[in-house]
Chain A
Amino acid sequence: MSRSRALTAWLLLSIVLASVLTLIGLPEPLRVLRPFWLALIVIYWTIEAPEHYGIGFAFALGLLQDVLIGTMLGEHAFRLAIISFIVLRFRSRIRFFPMWQQALAVGALLLNDRIVVLLLRAIAGEFTIDWRYWLAPLVGAALWPWIFLLLDDLRSRSRQRDA
């Protein structure tokens, strides 16, 4: 009971942090590099606790994100649902990948997400990109090991404290 409450607290905290990082003001050249923070959070929790955090969880988070940053309502929900689905499908493998392979897998997921965004925006209206559009997934992949270790550490700590 208390353990799951601590977990929920970590979950909420990670979501709030991801939201702030998404909204945080960056200088112009760095803006294109901003990784899809919420996706990283969703990937982590889907890998670690799929019985609690499945596609519905990702979808709900996506809707929140849409409202928060003012994209088309449903856009982030769509993207996160796809990510969550793929992670669930390959969870048992990804989980035991060495860290660099995990990062590669995350990079591939984020790249796929970029393609999804491109399609969605193309359907919704005109949308142009340049080559820098494809850099953000690389940043996401590079950040993954650190995020994974950080979240894992926090989680195991809260578990120990409760035990």
Chain B
Amino acid sequence: MPVYSAEGAPLFSEGSGGSLRLLAYLAIAAALMAVDLRTGLLHQARIAASAVISPLQTIATAPLRIAKSVREATAQRTGLVLENADLRKQLLFAQAKLDRLAIVQEQNNHLRALLDARQKLGLNVQLAELIDVDLDPYRHRILINQGSMHGVFVGEAVIDAKGLIGQVLNVEQERATVILLSDPSHAVPVRVQRTGLRVIAYGSGDPMRVELPHVPFSADIKVGDLLVTSGIGGRFPPGLPVATVYKVETDNSATFAVAEARPLAGIANSSELLLVSDEALALTPLPAPEAEFVGPPEGLANDAPMEPVP
């Protein structure tokens, strides 16, 4: 193989062969990246190479798994008893809440029937476990242990016990990549629960913060407001808690307010996740909620970027 070699070449030689080679390789790499961004070439390559990837991944995640099982095995009995009691109490509370919710649900169904509205199906929920956070901490992706084999599909919402985490970005056979809502290229249509104001929450690159730029100045939004998914666009089921507003201020032009909110979900540290889908919703987007409209223009709200720009 004729490789450019510094052997025998003077220090700092202007080896044009080397530069040309480099340029050629860089051009190939750039072309690959461009093709990959357009067509998802990588995804296919990964599927083809999964026979090699899976064992390596298993080896690499072994230390964490071993550490976890050792921790579990050596956990003190008293600690377990305490934890058990605690969980029992939580379960009780959750059950009480559920009972109440069931009544509300029934009422809701009844009212819907009266209004002759289309019945919505319940949520499909599926448990998934985190395999690894993205290797690059600056890309807000995580890997979960459920894939197309288990019925995961692209765009499915991912939540933890407290709130929305993100959505499925691409699916392999036995695992899937999730883009977190803190990713700068991610946007979620949300609704302020108190007022029904519709806004879009953009990722900020910081797991503890999402941004709500361009909130109309006159809009009613204040610190402490809870943001829930609005369901507009049909990507996320409506009503999932997303974040709480902790800062509202005027932007430079003084025509819009800019709000910042803290995600409720433990984006950086949840390891048990739920995949949530609402199939009826995925097929036909909800009609806009009849809250007073103070958000961005109708067209804007609907065309807003729902998917991460690839």
Contact = CB atoms under 8 A, between A and B. Distances in A.
B26 A82 contact: yes
Contacts of B127: none
A22 B184 contact: no
Given A24-B63, A125-B185, A78 B30 contact: yes
B45 A67 contact: yes
B22 interface: yes
B59 interface: yes
A59 B33 contact: no
B56 A20 contact: yes
Given A70-B42, A88-B18, A128-B205, A20 B60 contact: yes
A77 B32 contact: yes
Query: Size range of the interface on A?
Result: 35 or more
B3 interface: yes
A67 B205 CA distance: 24
Interface string B1-30: 101111101011001001101100110111
A69 interface: yes
Interface stretch (A3-11, A50-58, A139-147, A151-159): A50-58
B96 to A, nearest CB: 34
A56 B28 CA distance: 11
Interface in A57-75: 59, 62-63, 66-75
Interface in A17-53: 19-25, 28, 31-32, 34, 50-53
Residues of A contacting B: mostly: helix
Given A68-B53, A72-B36, A127 B25 contact: no
A129 interface: yes
A103 B49 CA distance: 34
B19 to A, nearest CB: 8
Contacts of B4: 54-55, 88
Interface in B246-272: 268-269
A73 B6 contact: no
A71 B213 CA distance: 29
Given A68-B56, A93-B11, A125-B185, A55 B29 contact: no
Contacts of A62: 29
B132 A25 contact: yes
A24 B185 contact: no
B61 A25 contact: yes
A83 to B, nearest CB: 11
A19 B56 CA distance: 8
A127 to B, nearest CB: 7
Interface in B130-162: 132-133, 135-139
Given A23-B132, A67-B49, A69-B135, A59 B25 contact: yes
A89 interface: yes
Nearest to A19: B56
Contact of B42 (A72, A91, A121): A72
Nearest to B31: A74
A83 B89 CA distance: 57
B52 to A, nearest CB: 8
Contacts of B49: 67-68
Given A85-B22, A126-B184, A133-B138, A25 B29 contact: no
Contacts of B56: 16, 19-20, 23, 68
B37 interface: yes
27 contacts: A19-B56, A23-B57, A23-B59, A23-B61, A23-B132, A24-B61, A28-B133, A28-B268, A50-B7, A55-B18, A63-B32, A68-B49, A71-B42, A72-B42, A73-B42, A75-B33, A77-B32, A81-B22, A82-B26, A85-B19, A89-B12, A124-B33, A125-B309, A126-B185, A128-B184, A128-B205, A128-B206
Q: What 8 A-B pairs have minimum CB-CB distances, sorted nearest first?
A: A128-B205, A74-B32, A23-B60, A54-B3, A78-B29, A25-B64, A126-B184, A73-B42
